[in-house]
Amino acid sequence: MLSGRPAGRRADRLLTAACVLLLALGGVLLARGALGGSAPSVAPAVHVANTSAPTAAPRTPAPAALPAARPVRVRIPAAGVNTGPVLDLGLAPDGTVEVPSVRQAGRIGWYDRGVTPGEIGPTVLIGHYDTVEGPAVLKDVGRIRVGDRIYVDRADGRTAVFAVRALQQVDKKDFPTQRVYGDTDRPELRLVTCGGALVGGHRPDNIVVYADLVAA
């Protein structure tokens, strides 16, 4: 059952958020030779400038929050993303947040212990930058800029439109758990992937895109 109530999410968020950072999106070795296959194409190192909308500029008033309805498709024109259906990501048996599998590298997942797109709170979407198979759905995350739109189509036929407010690249050991998963007083979106240059077959950073609901 979907739950958009903040009280029902807090324990799960605080227990598992850091696991996404350390294991999920950078946990798959990118050295194909280690798995006994041929070498894949390797995506280039990705870096984004830590940036946000000018603090002097007032945030656009949020439209009325939407009722719960799961996401079914994600479109990010700036990054060439148009993918669906959206995967439901819960908790793995070890308590970590699930992520798309290598076979699902072309799709984006939604952390279903959080709110649905357009509800009050942060909707968290997770996608791979690359995997052992090569570049993945968020391979062009570096093209996203403040002000770009993210469109999330919902199961009720409505589309939640978010405007990018900030981008952040951070070492996974310093992941901003509260900023990503913490409660908000308006509908917001978080898009999480990996970044940085390969170090020992892993990408050491997370890239987080923060966005606000601007239309629904």
Q: What is the pTM of this model?
A: 0.81
Determine which of 56-65, 98-107, 132-141 has the lowest per-residue pLDDT on average.
Answer: 56-65
pLDDT-derived band at 20, boundaries 50, 70, 90: very low
Q: How far, rounded to the nearest angstrom, does the alpha carbon of residue 13 sit from its chain's CA centroid? A: 14
Q: What is the pLDDT at residue 159?
A: 98
pLDDT tens column, 85-123: 999 999 888 877 889 999 999 999 999 999 999 999 999
Strand partners, 122: 188
pLDDT-derived band at 27, boundaries 50, 70, 90: very low
C-alpha pair distances (Å), 98 with each of 25, 101, 192: 10, 9, 13
pLDDT-derived band at 58, boundaries 50, 70, 90: low
Q: Is residue 19 predicted with pLDDT exceeding 70?
A: no
Note whether 190 and 207 are within 8 A (CB).
no
Say which amino acid occupies 55: T
CA angle 16–21–25, rounded 5-degree value: 115
Place of tokens 């996974």: 172
Select from 169, 163, 208, 203 the least CA-distant residue to 60.
163
pLDDT-derived band at 197, boundaries 50, 70, 90: confident
Cβ contacts of residue 216 below 8 Å, gap of 6+? Answer: 63, 64, 66, 118, 158, 159, 160, 161
pLDDT tens column, 169-189: 999 999 998 999 999 999 999
Note whether 193 and 206 are within 8 A (CB).
yes
Q: What is the pLDDT at residue 15?
A: 38
Determine which of 23-27, 160-164, 187-191 has the lowest per-residue pLDDT on average.
Answer: 23-27
pLDDT-derived band at 213, boundaries 50, 70, 90: very high
Q: What is the pLDDT at residue 113?
A: 94
Q: Are strands 81-83 and 71-76 parallel, antiparallel or unpaired?
A: antiparallel
Determine which of 15-19, 52-56, 114-118 has the lowest per-residue pLDDT on average.
Answer: 15-19
Note whether 29 and 37 are within 8 A (CB).
no
